[in-house]
Amino acid sequence: MKKLILGLFVIGLTIPTFAQEVEKLEEVIVIATNYKYLNEVNEEAADVPVKLLEKKVATYDLKGSDFYQDEYDLYYVSFHIPEGKILAAYDKDGNVLRTIEKFKGTNLPPAIYAAVTARFPGWAITKDVYLVNYHNKKGTTKKYKLRLENGDKMIKVKTDEDGNFL
């Protein structure tokens, strides 16, 4: 009985050593090429569709696309979803140079709600458009175009991301 238990113990120890195969994997390098773009346009109060489309622009593989050729220095690519669209300009290395972004019906930041209710009491925001212009050297501008209604009256106003009227 001792020999049987000892034999099973030895077999139990030797089987796992034969089952293991060591494979050497290739090294993976992760490069965030368009992190500057994401840092500039990323806003915590932004809607999920806005963030998803901006992430799609930042992670787009230009060199893997069908229309990529080495001879061109500039590429324009459009991204569309029902809530908005982005026109992005890439250099030949796939870096985002500039974008024009337009989104409709987004959640407005609290600063804009506070500014509108303070300046236009009794008015309701019935339509909004979020505009972003990114340029890798000039920076980013973010604007909101709002349509306000109060009964029969209608006005259009523009604000920046902090609620300052333009």
The tens digit of pLDDT for each residue in 101-125 reads 999 988 888 899 899 999 999 999 9
Q: In terms of pTM, does the model score above 0.95? A: no
Q: Which two tokens stand for residue 93?
A: 């290395």
Domain residue ranges of the chain, discontinuous segments joined by +: 32-160
Q: In 10 A of CB 166, how many CB atoms? A: 9
What would the mean pLDDT of 71-84 be, rounded to a whole number?
89
Query: Which of 38-52, 91-105, 147-161 is predicted with the least confidence, judged by mean pLDDT?
Result: 38-52
